[in-house]
Amino acid sequence: MPLSIMAYADNFASERREMVRTQLQARGITHQATLQAMENVPRHLYVPSAQRRFAYQDRPLPIGYGQTISQPYIVGYMTEIINPTGGQRILEIGTGSGYQAAVLAEIVDEVYTIEIIEELGKTARELLNKEYDNVFVKIADGYYGWEEHAPFDAIVVTAAAEHIPSPLVEQLKDGGKMIIPIGSPFRVQQLMLVEKQGDDYTTRTLMPVRFVPFKRE
C-alpha cells in the first residue's frame, strides 16, 4: 500500500476495529478471513469525501449515479456466506465503489468485477489498481458474467435481479456458490444462496434485503 494512503487509512484504524467488533462479530460474523479483511480495508476511501465521516457506520451510503455502497454488515455477511479462501477465483457483479472487491482481494487469489456504469467502473479501477494486483475490473453488462475467466469458485452479485441469471450459474464451478438479491427494486428483496451441483443448482433464502436494481444495457 502506498505510504500516503496507509497514513490516511491509519487515522481510521480504531474505527475499523470498532466496526468489526460491534457490527460484524456482535451480529454473528465469525469467518476470520472476512473479519481480518474488513479490518484491513480502509472503507472511507471507497465512499465520496462528503460521506467519509459516516464510512464506519452500519448503513449504506450513496456513491453517485443512483448507486450505494452496502452497509458493512451486509458486506461481511455476503463474504462469509461464500466462504472465500486462498487460491480461489471470484466474480463480482456490481463493482460500485470497489469496496466489496477490495475485501475479497484481501482473501482470494483473483477477483474479477464488472460494473455497468462507466464512471463508477473507471474510478473503482483506478483505486483498486493502486492497492491490488489481483483485481480486474471490466465495464460491461454483468448479466453475462466474464466467460473467458470462468469457471469461478463463487459469484457475488451486489444488485437486485428479478431472476437468477443463467449465464452466471453456468460460469460457476461444480460445487460453487453464488449470493444474489432477488426481487423488485420497489419491494423488499430476498438474499439468495445458489449452490451449483453438476448441471443443476439449488437455492436457499437467507434474509430480506434492499439493494439497488440490477442494471442492464
pLDDT, average across residues 56-76: 95
- pTM of the entire predicted model: 0.92
Residues with Cβ within 8 Å of 70's Cβ and at least 6 positions away in sequence, in order, are 60, 78, 99, 100, 158, 211
pLDDT, average across residues 95-114: 98
70 is catalytic: yes
Number of Cβ within a 10 Å radius of residue 74: 21
Residue 45 domain-assigned? Answer: yes
Closest CA to 155 of 213, 79, 46: 79
- E-strand ranges in 26-109 read 61-64, 67-69, 89-93
- pLDDT band of residue 10 (cuts 50, 70, 90) is low
pLDDT in the model for residue 1: 36
Q: Quick one: CA dihedral 214, 177, 201, 29, positive or negative?
A: negative
- Cell reading at 196: 451449483
* Dist. CA 157–CA 144, nearest whole Å: 12
3-state secondary structure of 79: helix
Counted domains in the chain: 1
- The residue to which cell 487509512 is assigned: 9
- Which of 4-8, 19-23, 98-102, 176-180 has the least mean pLDDT? 4-8
Q: Which amino acid is at 150?
A: A
Residue 215 domain-assigned? Answer: no
Residue 87 domain-assigned? Answer: yes
Residue 75 domain-assigned? Answer: yes
Residues with Cβ within 8 Å of 71's Cβ and at least 6 positions away in sequence, in order, are 23, 58, 59, 60
pLDDT in the model for residue 100: 98
Residue 214 domain-assigned? Answer: no
pLDDT, average across residues 51-67: 94
- What is the domain range of residue 142? 3-209
Residue 50 domain-assigned? Answer: yes
Q: Return the ∠ at Cα 76 (arms to 208 and 11), rounded to 5°.
A: 130
Q: Are strands 135-139 and 110-115 parallel, antiparallel or unpaired?
A: parallel
The one catalytic residue in 4, 14, 49, 70 is 70
Q: List pLDDT tens digits, range 165-205.
A: 999 999 999 999 999 999 987 788 999 999 999 989 999 99
Residue 217 domain-assigned? Answer: no
| Statement: residue 7 has pLDDT above 80 | no
Tell me the CATH number at 85: 3.40.50.150
For 174-211, letters b (16+ CB in 10 Å) and e give eebbbbbbbbeeeeebbbbbbebeeeebeeeeeeebeb
* Dist. CA 53–CA 102, nearest whole Å: 20
Residue 216 domain-assigned? Answer: no
| Statement: residue 75 has pLDDT above 70 | yes
